[in-house]
């Protein structure tokens, strides 16, 4: 039943009247809809499961009796079942399926990184890998990647597939230390369904782009790539998948791509849309097109310490050409020494033997550029340089939220003005000035402090003499209390509000207090972050100054 | 069927073997016989007349007892011979019954394990083992024929790679089941924020204390399920150890978590605040503290003001009553009364200058001798003009004339009750006053007439602990507040007209609107209930303005104002407009929160009182002061 629930997507419901349903007790219980359970009973796959159960029993018996011929026979007649109809039933339209693709993709990418031994069937892992690679190839072909994010958990990607945002996470390519408190059978059941779903989705997606499915590497490109090697190479299925997963070749189309693809779309003015909205939409469209061609014309080379697959995927998604060392993976298109390389992605503190005419950059530049929708200035990303913070593209700050200063800078850059250089220059100037000022100030301060001390002493003496002469009673001049109009008004308003709050009904008051509490907490958190940042910045500045001074001295 | 034991030595002559066979012997339980012998005669059960004691004695005395066994078939006792006992012992040990049987005799193999040169049998091989079998040939030829004809095909290797096709080739709307409509799609995973980055802005990193707090929190309570970390470069980022866990938890959520649609309230909090008329438009009302009347050394429990509004009287726990001039905050007179003053009430009749003061068990009627000499002289004359009636009437209280000493201080009459008096209040005309005695009987409320020096007990039965009483300002109604209800009595008809449910736990005080149709009740559970007597017996509105128990409430005589004083040290002045036309409900708007009193002993304001003509409010507090807000 657990398998059935997972496959059919049956989940418990929270009843409206928990007490009524639970016969008066308030103990925690899970409730399924009666309809759902009846629905499960009618599923034809139940019989298949029963057959499978019988099969397993027979097989075990045969093993126990060491009847190897029976084992072989049973294995040959292993009952199999298909989940096609369940997929169709759960997702009656294609868009429904796309909406639920997030978990499927994440799971497939996770399973495709599992070791080929233990834990789960090799076939499952291979299938997952295949489907994942196919999906990546689709994203490249359709150029639908939008956002990427390097988190400490893994790499997040967000693509827009047929208007639906699809987000998935891939782990970093390291061996997993498999936890013991995880039930792999549950995960395997989910994966079983997800692979079926993803396969059908891939099929449909490929056909929407007029691509072959299962994918074929474009022959033209193939020949260009490997003129020396025969065609048999590509036929070998294992290496074929590998080659596909190299993500370097474009895919073959059923219909030859016409180069006049980009015929200007006729514009149909949507009714009830003002000219402004149209303009905005047009602008958005243009921006999107520009974003898609972000790396067009750029040639990248990935060093071997850089995670190859994600970077190749991203660069190819935005129209860039990418290559890597031939010994690293098949599918390398050009060599390090190629003079036409514009960017080389490097993740080591310093590079010996720099070739003139290309930028040596850290991988974060690619990610940040994609998120910023423009090629960022390269100066911050040179190897060995302290990187600017990597921000999440998934956060859209609302009013009142804390916005990190880097994000503000980025937003300004996106708007078109380029405050970066100026500010940097200013910073440097400021720093220099600061340095000078500081010294001068310090000198002055020393002087002043001496003077002040003298003054103080004098004053004290004077006071002493005066106090001995004068009576201790003093009449101080009355201060004119300035009544701040604005403040008064504000106070009055706030008092009015307080009084009105007193008159609220109990339920509304509760709601109001809750909302206000939430707001206050948000503000508090934002303030906390801002304060932390300020403290950090000042600390950094101090340190810089110190080091500067030390250098000077 | 084991062979019968050796013939019993005790019965060699007659064979009393039972012939019933192998049956359960219980079948003969109820019969005198136990079966039949070979001749077909009944075998009778031996007579057993031994009781427990005999059995015991036999067990003790008979040395053969241990080897005596009852034969179930005959019912006779049998003594086992030595051989039989031996046999039993052997069997018990698991040995063979036969003494002479040797289980460990040396084994002699039938066949040797060595391979001999000669076969065991000397039969030559069959001829049919040399010629091919015809039946087999037939079978093979059949198979060959079947293969040739294509009836039998070699087993195809199974292709277990799944095939995909366009599942959604024709999306028909009929396939959308009803269940898709009530389907609650699983919420997507939360997208990561800046803090999850491998190189987050420095402010998102946790400080040491935060990290410690994070570790001490329950995993379910944590806001982030990871500690933000910073790495210098991508190369340094390790694998996330909980990745599989998180995927697994997501799987569990997907199929085990109950789903429910929740409506998120999307309200602008400003819209929730009711639109009320601005306090500025509802002036006049007291706004600032103007005067502080200092002098009392202990908490000031009660206040009252002369009808002209010139004098104020306050009673305190320091056993004094002080008379103040309102405008100057000067203490005109101090009257020591020798007891805690629970309540004071100035006679509302402007032609009489008389103050009723509750001190322990008595009510003092005091002429303060303040103000117009003619006025207070007239009051004295009025009191002295009393003529005692001819016949003595039985009264619940005693009216006593003040002694000379007391008279010089101003005390004119003493009404002595049997128990401590809690509250005293005047009728609007100034002749009658009512007093509340802290008692449980029907004697709790007494009504006194000053001019006739006569008291009566209006109630026959006690209806609970009376908190306070009140006269209606115009009509002959009388309000009695018990813990949870306010009862309204008609004094003329002598009947209960109404019972108001306050919805409070414990009523502390009560005040009536000068129009006489509205009542407010303050309660110790910090609620203030406004009753419209014409509307219903339930509160028109319950105001929860104060944070602590309400001690007293008051109405203004002229202005549409009412005030409440509470233990939280504040006086809240509200605008309470009552309209003449019956269709419009009263308008209640809080207009000012007055602070000033210092909390002492967890008590704040004990009494509030409005000036009779001006929009001023007095409050007395536990800090021993009386304050005037104008």
Structure confidence by residue, pLDDT tens digits, A171-224: 988 888 888 888 888 888 899 899 999 999 988 888 888 877 777 766 555 444
Please state which of the ranges A67-81, A105-119, A134-148, A471-485 shows the lowest mean pLDDT.
A471-485
Calculate mean pLDDT across residues B83-95: 91
pLDDT at residue B12 in the model: 45
CA–CA min distance A414, chain B (Å): 19
Calculate mean pLDDT across residues B85-97: 90
pLDDT at residue B145 in the model: 95
Measure the CA–CA gap between A134 and A247, rounded to whole angstroms.
Answer: 10
CA–CA min distance A80, chain B (Å): 9
**For every residue of B463-519, which 3-state class applies, written as one string?**
CCCCCEEEECCCCCEEEEECCCEEEEEECCCCEEEEEEECCCCCEEEEEECCCCCEE
Encode B321-356: b = buried (16+ Cβ within 10 Å), e = exposed.
bbbbbbeebebbbebebebbbbbbbbbbbeebbbbb
pLDDT at residue A474 in the model: 55
Q: Judge: A515–B545 Cβ closer than 8 Å, yes or no.
A: no
Within a 10 A sphere around the Cβ of B425, how many other Cβ atoms?
20
pLDDT at residue A241 in the model: 61
Q: β-pairing, A343-345 with A299-302?
A: parallel
**Nearest residue of chain A to residue B592 (CA atoms):** A499
Q: Judge: A11–B590 Cβ closer than 8 Å, yes or no.
A: no
Measure the CA–CA gap between A79 and A111, rounded to whole angstroms.
Answer: 24
- Per-domain residue ranges for chain A? 1-81, 84-227+236-246, 293-391, 506-552
- Quick one: angle between helices A45-65 and A68-76, nearest 10? 160
Please state which of the ranges B179-188, B427-436, B604-613 shows the lowest mean pLDDT.
B179-188
Q: Are A215 and A205 in contact, with CB atoms under 8 Å apart?
A: no
pLDDT at residue A468 in the model: 46
pLDDT at residue A57 in the model: 94
Calculate mean pLDDT across residues B547-553: 86
pLDDT at residue A230 in the model: 36
Decide if pLDDT at B310 tops 50: yes
Cα distances from A419 to residues A100, A366, A376, A378, in angstroms, run 42, 21, 13, 15
pLDDT at residue A443 in the model: 43
Q: Which of A5, A363, A536 sits opposite B202 (nearest CB)?
A: A536
Measure the CA–CA gap between B284 and B559, rounded to whole angstroms.
Answer: 8
Q: What sections of A293-404 are H helices per DSSP?
A: 308-317, 364-372
Q: Which of A11, A82, A178 sits opposite B244 (nearest CB)?
A: A178
Calculate mean pLDDT across residues A513-533: 87
Which pairs from B529-538 meet CB under 8 Å and 24+ separation?
B529/B502, B529/B503, B529/B504, B530/B576, B530/B586, B530/B588, B531/B486, B531/B500, B532/B585, B532/B586, B533/B488, B533/B498, B533/B500, B534/B582, B535/B585, B537/B498, B537/B499, B537/B500, B537/B501, B538/B500, B538/B501, B538/B503
Among the listed residues B367, B333, B184, the one whose alpha carbon sits nearest the alpha carbon of residue B260 = B184
Measured between beta carbons, the chain A residues lying within 8 angstroms of B219 are none
Decide if pLDDT at A301 tops 80: yes
Architecture of domain A293-391: 3-Layer(aba) Sandwich (3.40)
pLDDT at residue A441 in the model: 42
pLDDT at residue B178 in the model: 65
Q: Are B605 and B551 in contact, with CB atoms under 8 Å apart?
A: yes
Q: What percent of chain B has pLDDT over 70?
A: 95
Measured between beta carbons, the chain B residues lying within 8 angstroms of A405 are 201
Calculate mean pLDDT across residues A319-332: 78
Mean pLDDT, chain B, whole residue set: 82
pLDDT at residue A274 in the model: 65
- Quick one: angle between helices B243-256 and A184-208, nearest 10? 90
Q: Are B71 and B45 in contact, with CB atoms under 8 Å apart?
A: no
Which pairs from A332-339 meet CB under 8 Å and 24+ separation?
A332/A248, A333/A225, A333/A248, A334/A299, A334/A301, A336/A301, A338/A299, A338/A301
Question: In A, residues 395-454, which contact B (CB 8 Å cutoff)?
Answer: 395, 404-406
Question: In A, residues 93-112, which contact B (CB 8 Å cutoff)?
Answer: 93-94, 96-97, 99-100, 102-103, 106-107, 110
Decide if pLDDT at B66 tops 80: yes
- Per-domain residue ranges for chain B? 19-67
Q: Using one digit for the tens of pLDDT, what is the confidence trace for B113-135?
A: 788 888 777 788 888 889 989 99
Q: What value does the CA radius of gyration of chain B take, rounded to a whole number of Å?
A: 55
Q: Which of A154, A187, A200 sits opposite B248 (nearest CB)?
A: A187
Measured between beta carbons, the chain B residues lying within 8 angstroms of A1 are none
Measured between beta carbons, the chain B residues lying within 8 angstroms of A38 are none
Q: Which two tokens stand for residue B622?
A: 């536990």
**Nearest residue of chain B to residue A507 (CA atoms):** B272
pLDDT at residue B91 in the model: 92
Which residues does A19 contact at the CB level (< 8 Å), separation at least 6?
A25, A26
A529 at B interface, C-beta within 8 A: yes
Decide if pLDDT at A146 tops 90: no
Q: Using one digit for the tens of pLDDT, what is the confidence trace for A48-81?
A: 889 999 999 999 999 999 889 899 888 888 888 8
pLDDT at residue A63 in the model: 92
Within a 10 A sphere around the Cβ of A38, how many other Cβ atoms?
9
- How would DSSP label each residue in A104-124? HHHHHHHHHTS-SSSSS-HHH
CA–CA min distance A150, chain B (Å): 6
Measured between beta carbons, the chain B residues lying within 8 angstroms of A172 are 237-240
Block residue for tokens 């507040």: B481
Q: Which two tokens stand for residue A195?
A: 């692979």
Sign of the CA dihedral A239, A245, A247, A249? positive
Residue among B186, B193, B197, B230 with most chain A CBs within 10 A, to mutate: B197
Measure the CA–CA gap between B58 and A480, rounded to whole angstroms.
Answer: 127
Measured between beta carbons, the chain B residues lying within 8 angstroms of A394 are 191-193
CA–CA min distance A55, chain B (Å): 17
Interface A-B: count of C-beta contacts within 8 A: 266
More confident residue, B618 or A470: B618
Q: What percent of chain A has pLDDT over 90?
A: 5
Q: What sections of B165-320 are H helices per DSSP?
A: 208-216, 243-256, 269-272
Q: Judge: B247–A386 Cβ closer than 8 Å, yes or no.
A: no
Q: Judge: A187–B247 Cβ closer than 8 Å, yes or no.
A: yes
Q: What is the band of A429 on the pLDDT scale with cuts at 50, 70, 90?
A: very low
Calculate mean pLDDT across residues A413-435: 49
Measure the CA–CA gap between A343 and B331, rounded to whole angstroms.
Answer: 94
Q: Is the reported ipTM for this assembly greater than 0.90? A: no
Calculate mean pLDDT across residues B491-515: 84
First vs last Cα of chain B: how many Å apart?
A: 122
Q: Which of A31, A88, A127 sits opposite B258 (nearest CB)?
A: A31
> Quick check: pTM over 0.80?
no
Q: Which of B180, B192, B589 sits opposite A149 (nearest CB)?
A: B192
Block residue for tokens 């200058």: B353
Q: What percent of chain B has pLDDT over 90?
A: 4
The sheet with strand B289-293 has its strands ordered as: B289-293, B626-629, B617-621, B605-610
Q: Judge: B269–A512 Cβ closer than 8 Å, yes or no.
A: yes
Q: Using one digit for the tens of pLDDT, what is the confidence trace for A215-238?
A: 776 655 544 444 333 333 344 455
């Amino acid at each position: 039943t657990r398998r059935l629930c997972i496959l059919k997507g049956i989940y418990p419901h929270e009843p409206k009247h928990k007490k009524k349903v639970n016969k008066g007790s308030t103990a925690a219980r899970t409730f399924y809809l009666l309809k759902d359970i009846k629905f499960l009973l009618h599923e034809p796959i139940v019989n298949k499961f029963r057959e499978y159960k019988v099969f397993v029993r027979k097989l075990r018996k045969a093993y126990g009796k060491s009847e190897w011929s029976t084992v072989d026979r049973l294995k040959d007649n292993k009952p199999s079942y298909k989940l096609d109809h369940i997929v169709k039933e759960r997702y009656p339209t294609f868009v429904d399926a796309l909406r639920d693709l997030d978990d499927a993709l994440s799971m497939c990418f996770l399973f495709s990184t599992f070791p080929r031994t233990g834990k789960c069937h090799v076939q499952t892992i291979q299938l997952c890998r295949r489907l994942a690679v196919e999906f990546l190839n689709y994203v490249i072909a359709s150029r639908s990647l939008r956002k990427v994010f390097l988190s400490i958990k893994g790499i997040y990607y967000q693509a827009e597939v047929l208007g639906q945002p699809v987000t998935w996470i891939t782990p970093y390519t390291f061996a997993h230390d498999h936890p013991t408190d995880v039930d792999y059978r549950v995960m395997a059941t989910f994966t079983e369904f997800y692979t079926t779903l993803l396969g059908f989705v891939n099929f449909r997606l490929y056909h929407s782009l007029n691509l072959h499915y299962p994918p074929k590497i474009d022959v033209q490109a193939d020949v260009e790539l490997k003129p020396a090697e025969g065609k048999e190479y590509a036929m070998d299925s294992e290496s074929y998948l590998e080659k596909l997963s190299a993500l370097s070749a474009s895919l073959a189309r059923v219909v030859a791509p016409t180069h006049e693809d980009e015929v200007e779309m006729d514009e149909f003015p949507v009714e009830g849309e003002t000219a402004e909205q149209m303009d905005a939409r047009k602008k958005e469209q243009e921006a999107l097109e520009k974003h898609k061609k972000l790396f067009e014309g750029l040639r990248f080379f990935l060093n071997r310490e850089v995670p190859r697959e994600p970077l190749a995927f991203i660069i190819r998604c935005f129209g860039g050409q990418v290559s890597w060392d031939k010994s690293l993976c098949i599918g390398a298109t050009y060599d390090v020494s190629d003079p036409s390389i514009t960017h080389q992605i490097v993740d080591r503190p310093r590079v010996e033997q720099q070739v003139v005419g290309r930028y040596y950059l850290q991988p974060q530049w690619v990610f940040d550029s994609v998120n910023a929708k423009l090629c960022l200035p390269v100066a911050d990303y040179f190897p060995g340089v302290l990187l600017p913070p990597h921000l999440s593209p998934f956060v859209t700050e609302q009013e009142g939220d804390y916005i990190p200063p880097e994000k503000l800078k980025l937003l300004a850059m996106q708007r078109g003005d380029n405050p970066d250089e100026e500010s940097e220059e200013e910073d440097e100037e400021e720093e220099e000035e600061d340095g000078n000022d500081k010294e001068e100030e310090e000198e002055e301060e020393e002087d002043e402090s001496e003077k002040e001390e003298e003054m103080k002493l004098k004053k004290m003496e004077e006071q002493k003499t005066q106090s001995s002469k004068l009576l201790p009673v003093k009449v101080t001049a009355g201060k004119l209390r300035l009544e701040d109009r604005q403040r008064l008004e504000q106070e009055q308003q706030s008092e009015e509000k307080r009084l009105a709050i007193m008159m609220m009904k109990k339920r509304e008051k509760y709601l109001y207090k809750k909302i206000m509490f939430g707001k206050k907490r948000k503000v508090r958190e934002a303030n906390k972050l801002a304060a932390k940042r300020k403290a950090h910045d000042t600390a950094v500045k101090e340190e810089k100054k110190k080091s500067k001074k030390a250098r000077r001295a | 069927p084991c062979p019968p034991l050796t013939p019993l030595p005790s019965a060699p002559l007659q064979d009393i073997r039972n012939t019933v066979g192998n049956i359960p012997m219980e079948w003969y339980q109820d019969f005198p016989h136990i079966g039949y012998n070979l001749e077909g005669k009944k075998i009778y059960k031996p007579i057993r007349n031994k009781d427990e004691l005999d059995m015991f004695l036999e067990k003790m005395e008979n040395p053969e007892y241990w080897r005596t066994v009852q034969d179930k078939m005959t019912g006779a006792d049998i003594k086992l011979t030595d051989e039989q006992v031996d046999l039993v012992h052997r069997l018990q040990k698991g040995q063979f019954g036969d003494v002479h049987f040797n289980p460990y005799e040396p084994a002699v193999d039938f066949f040797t394990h060595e391979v001999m040169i000669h076969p065991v049998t000397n039969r030559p091989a069959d001829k049919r083992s040399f010629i091919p079998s015809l039946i087999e040939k037939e079978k093979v030829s059949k198979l060959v024929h079947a293969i040739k004809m294509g009836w039998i095909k070699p087993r195809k290797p199974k292709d277990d790679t799944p095939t995909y096709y366009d599942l959604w080739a024709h999306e028909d709307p009929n396939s959308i089941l009803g269940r898709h409509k009530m389907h609650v799609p699983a919420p997507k995973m939360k997208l990561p924020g800046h803090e999850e980055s491998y190189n987050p802005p420095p402010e998102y990193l946790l400080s040491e204390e935060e990290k410690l707090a994070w570790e001490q929190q329950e995993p379910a309570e944590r806001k982030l399920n990871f500690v933000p970390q910073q790495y210098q470069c991508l190369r340094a980022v390790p694998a996330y150890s909980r990745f599989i866990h998180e995927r697994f938890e997501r799987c569990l959520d997907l199929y085990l978590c109950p789903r429910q649609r929740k409506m998120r309230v999307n309200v602008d909090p400003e819209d929730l605040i009711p639109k009320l008329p601005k306090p500025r438009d509802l002036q006049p009302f007291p706004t600032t503290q103007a005067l502080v009347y200092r002098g009392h050394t202990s908490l000031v429990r009660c206040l009252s003001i002369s009808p002209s509004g010139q004098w104020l009287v306050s009673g305190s726990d320091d056993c004094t009553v002080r008379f103040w001039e309102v405008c100057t905050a000067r203490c005109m007179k101090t009257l020591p009364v020798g007891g805690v003053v629970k309540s004071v009430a100035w006679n509302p009749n402007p032609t009489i200058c008389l103050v009723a003061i509750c001190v322990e068990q008595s009510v003092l009627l005091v002429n303060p001798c303040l103000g117009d000499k003619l006025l207070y002289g007239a009051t004295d004359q009025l009191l002295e003009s009393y003529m005692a009636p001819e016949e003595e009437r039985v009264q619940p209280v005693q009216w006593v004339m003040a002694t000379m000493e007391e008279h010089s201080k101003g005390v004119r009459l003493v009404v002595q009750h049997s128990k401590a008096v809690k509250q005293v209040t005047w009728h609007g005309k100034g002749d009658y006053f009512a007093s509340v005695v802290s008692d449980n009987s029907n004697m709790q409320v007494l009504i006194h007439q000053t001019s006739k020096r006569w008291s009566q007990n209006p109630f026959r039965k006690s209806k609970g602990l009376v908190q306070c009483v009140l006269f209606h300002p115009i009509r002959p109604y009388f309000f009695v507040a018990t813990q949870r209800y306010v009862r309204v009595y008609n004094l003329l008809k002598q009947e209960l007209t109404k019972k108001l449910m306050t919805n409070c736990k414990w009523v502390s005080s009560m005040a009536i609107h000068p129009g006489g149709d509205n009542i407010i009740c303050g309660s110790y559970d910090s609620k203030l209930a406004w009753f419209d007597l014409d509307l219903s017996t339930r509160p028109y509105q319950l105001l929860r303005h104060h944070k602590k128990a309400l001690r007293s409430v008051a109405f203004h005589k002229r202005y549409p104002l009412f005030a409440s004083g509470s233990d939280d040290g504040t006086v809240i002045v509200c605008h309470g407009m009552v309209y003449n036309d019956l269709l419009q409900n009263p308008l209640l708007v809080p207009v000012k929160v007055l602070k000033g009193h210092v909390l002492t002993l967890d008590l704040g304001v004990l009494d509030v009182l409005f000036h009779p003509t001006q929009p001023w409010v007095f409050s007395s507090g536990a800090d021993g002061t009386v304050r005037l807000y104008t």
